[in-house]
Amino acid sequence: MKRSSSHRAAAAGRRVAMGLVVLVLLVAGAWSSWDTAHHIVLAKGRDHGTVTVTGCGEEKCTGSFTPDAVSRERPRVTLDRSVAAREGDRFPVVVKPGSDAVVRTGLPGFLHAWVPLAGALVLAAFVIGGGLRMVRTAWGVGTAGAALLVATFVAL
């Protein structure tokens, strides 16, 4: 039985709509990740050092900052609260320009910065598999997102 042109148009419209959903998910995940990741990836010329976490509140942790040889000293810095930052922990950081907020560097910090993209990849995999019916691609995208999440968990 031949498909009607309206059926083909509906199928094409569904594919376009699902493709746009995937695109929005991935762009939103990358945008959200880049907000933190660009401080790590483009860290040249920024203050670097080590933070020792001295206390944590609901959303932020504070700590003392020990600068490297060329960075300026700061009495206290803040970082976003995460399960990986506990009182007494020490780790390398880079200071966000124009503030006393810091971002964790190194492999753990780099992976943690890309967690929103990892979540977007996992969500997009369901849309790719179910909405676009591209099962192999969905498995690849979902596996990449899950691998990034697991690697972040292990690194932190």
Lowest mean pLDDT among 1-15, 32-46, 134-148: 1-15
pLDDT in tens, 17-43: 999 999 999 999 999 999 999 999 998
Percent of the chain clearing pLDDT 90 (strictly above): 78
pLDDT-based confidence at 92, cuts 50/70/90?
very high
44: its two tokens: 């040249």
Residue with tokens 């600068």: 67
Q: What are the boundaries of each domain within the chain?
A: 25-43+106-156, 44-104
pLDDT in tens, 127-141: 999 999 999 999 999
pLDDT at residue number 84: 75
Query: Which CATH code is given to the segment(s) 44-104?
Result: 2.40.50
**Strand-pair partners of 48:** 94
DSSP letters for 41-67: HT-TTS-EEEEEEEEE-SSEEEEEEEE
pLDDT at residue number 1: 61
Question: 36 phi and psi, to 5 degrees?
Answer: -95, -40
